Structures are given as structure tokens and as C-alpha cells.
Amino acid sequence: MTTGNALNGKPNAGNQHMRLDEGDAAPAATPVREPPLCKKRLFCVDLLRGIDIFFLLVVNYGLLLGGFFKVWPLTSTWAKVLWTHSYTAFQSEPGAVTTGFGFFDFAQPLFIFVTGVSASLAFSKFDSPNVFDAKAFWKRLACRTLMLWAVGSAIRGALTFKLFTGSGTQQNFCLYSDTLHTIAVAYFAASVGMLLRRAGLRAVLGFALVSVAAVVMFVYGDYSRHGNAARLIEEAVYSRIGGKAKDFCYLLTTFTWSGMGILASLMGDVLKSDRAPWRKAGIIAVCGAGALVSGWVLSFWVPPIRFVYTVSFVFETLGLSTLLLAALYVITDILGARRGTWVLILFGQCSMAAWVITQFFSSSLTDAANCFVRGIPRLIGTDAYQPIFVAVARAALLVWLLWQWRRLRSCRSAKQTLPSRL
């Protein structure tokens, strides 16, 4: 028989057929650790990524190089330098040093910057004040890096089972010569760098990696087309495996891209911090201005060249990228001005799909667009403007494909989040 002391003033505590009332306390359960909550998605980051990929794939490769420049070619020197400087920079006599960069040259370092910022924001999915899901972090990092590397290698011809594709001075090392390889390096370095909890240590690491390549470039060789250290290293390495180096170098610049990704992740830390929004914008703007001025000062001794990512080019582009991020953060996330950005956000959220479509199915896109607009230029009395009509139709078709892709992903996500009911 249960005694009154055992019941402790709760007459129903010993009855297994009686539920505890509201006044009865249930035994304390073992606390369950919940996964860390992700930070709210920042509009400015998707928009900045969208601006970059839209400019590169639609404006530059599509509308301009594939359309308008075929009808009205770039004939003046200043126009070539302003738009595609990297393609004209090394077309001088061997040994000559060329400087500067155009709009097209800014696209890749901007994407590296966005990759570093995104790596910092994505780290919040695995980290919280009390929990770090190391297994999920390394699994996602490995999958993303390997995916970028595999797709980049396939674009460069790895499926031909040859180490080098192309001919002459434009040979591509299939395993490491694509923009996606560059993004994979920056993403991996920025993500691993997030394991350093102190921002100061990451800043030192980022500057150190950039400095390694800068010192090698400064001490060995010069900044000419065939005499720069980055190219000399690749010629020494590739000649041993039956290949040749090209203007755009990858081996030495691996240090540079890693450092850029880590430095960019610091701006992601600022965005996801608990500071006031205007204070965040001010910090990012000051950092951007400092980097831009540093790059400009360094350009007096080191010419800014994209093909080898000289230190002046790195800090000038990092500065411009950071200032652009600050401006978009103020406009879209603080002031809330987002009207008319639908297409850019579409490209920002489906950047990988856009890259794959334009790289693997470029000819199919052009042929389909040509079928849609064939004969339309004759309505104005000439076929001279056919490339422009094809370029516009190609861009519209790409937008439609990305829109369908995003709808498909949204439907799949909705099905996965629906509760299962029996």
C-alpha cells in the first residue's frame, strides 16, 4: 500500500490509469539539441550574384559578343580596353608590360567575392553557440567542391580522356582550367577558413595567401605575357606531362583565389552579425574603400593584370566588389527597393544551372533562338541585324529555362516539407 509520504500530497501519483492533472509535474526530460537556425537569406547577396552571372552570360557572351559586336565590331582601341581589356592586354610585343582591366575582367573576381560571402552565410546552417554539426559541414563542403570540380573538368573536355584540349597556345589542362575550378578553390578555402573562429586570424590567413603569390610574382620574372612567374611555373609543370601553358594561369593563382575567398568571407560575417543595419553598411563600405585605395597605390609598382591576378588587381577588384555589396545592401535590404530585379534574382538563385546550360548547350540555344526569329530582320529590309535578334531570343530562352528550373526545385522542396500523415 502506498503511503502518504510516497504520494507526497499527490493522491493520483500512484495510479497508472489516472493522467496527471495540470498541477502535477512530469519528470524532467533530457533536453534535445535542435539544429542551429539559418540566418535570413540576404537579398543583396543573391542580387549581386545575379548581376554578375547575368552580365557574364547574357550581356557579355550573349547580347554583345554574340549579337551587337558582330554587327558593330569594337574597332577603337579605347573601346576594346574598356570592355575586354584582358583580351587585348597581352597582344603587345613579348616583354612589354600592360596594365588595367575592363568590364569583362571584373566578372570573375566578383564571383569569387560572392562565393566567399556566401560561404560565411552558409556556415550558419551548421554552427550555433552550442552546436557545430561537423559531419554535415564536411559532407556539404565535399559534395559542393567535387561537383564544381567535376562540372568544370567536363566543360574543359575531361570526358575526352585527354589531359589537355585545344591547340597552340590555348591548351586547357582539363583538370584545372575552368572558372568553376576557380570558384571551387575559393569556396573550399573560405569554408574551411570559417573554422577559425576569430575574424582577425582569418584576415591574417587571407592576406598571407595573397602575399605568397604576390611575392613570387614580384621576385621571379616580370609582368609580361611570357615572362611572368605564374606562366613560367605552369610551363615547367605542364611540359613534363605533354602540355603547354596559356595566358590565364591557375597553379600559382590558387593561393590568390584562396586568400580572396577568405577575405570575402569576412564581409559575410559582418552581414550576419547583430550590428545595426546602417553600421554594417558603413563597415563594409570602409573596408571596400580601403581595399580599392590599397590596390590603386600598389598599381604604381605592380600592374593590375587579370590573367595572373597580380596583387594590385586583387585589391582593386575586392574593393570594387565590397563597395558594390555595401550599396546593394543599403538599397535592397535596408531601404527595401527591390522592384524590377526579378530576372537578376533568378540568375542569382540559379547561377549553376545558367552556367551549365550556356556551357554544354550553347549551340542548341543558338539554333533554337535562330528558329524563333528567322526572317524577322527582313521585315525591316535587311538581314544584317540577324545576330542581334538571335542574341535577344537566346537570352529570352535562357531566362525561360531558368524559370522552369526554379519552379521545379520549388515543387520538390514543397513536397519534401509536407508532413507525412497516415
Q: Are 356 and 315 in contact (CB under 8 A)?
A: no
Q: How far apart are CA 99 and CA 124, in angstroms?
A: 40
* Arithmetic mean of pLDDT, 250-261: 96
pLDDT in tens, 361-389: 988 998 999 888 887 877 777 778 888 88
> In 124-145, which positions are buried (b, 16+ CB within 10 angstroms) versus exposed (e)?
bbbbeeeeebeeebeeebeebb
- Is the pLDDT at 23 greater than 80? The verdict is no
Under DSSP, is residue 94 helix (H, G, I), strand (E, B) or coil? coil
Cβ within 8 Å of residue 338, ≥6 positions away: 43, 332
pLDDT in tens, 56-77: 899 888 888 788 888 887 766 5
403 pLDDT band (50/70/90 cuts)?
A: very high
Q: Are 339 and 287 in contact (CB under 8 A)?
A: no
| Grid cell 549553376 in the structure block, residue | 352
Q: What is the pLDDT of residue 306?
A: 86
Q: What is the pLDDT of residue 100?
A: 62
Q: What is the pLDDT of residue 410?
A: 82
- In a 13 Å sphere around the CA of 310, the CA atoms on its Cβ side amount to 30
Q: What is the pLDDT of residue 202?
A: 95
Its pTM stands at 0.84
Percent share of the chain, pLDDT over 90: 51
Say which range, 125-139, 273-287, 390-404, has the weakest mean pLDDT. 125-139
Q: Are 237 and 252 in contact (CB under 8 A)?
A: no
Q: How far apart are CA 210 and CA 406, in angstroms?
A: 37
Q: Pick the more confident residue, 121 or 130.
A: 121
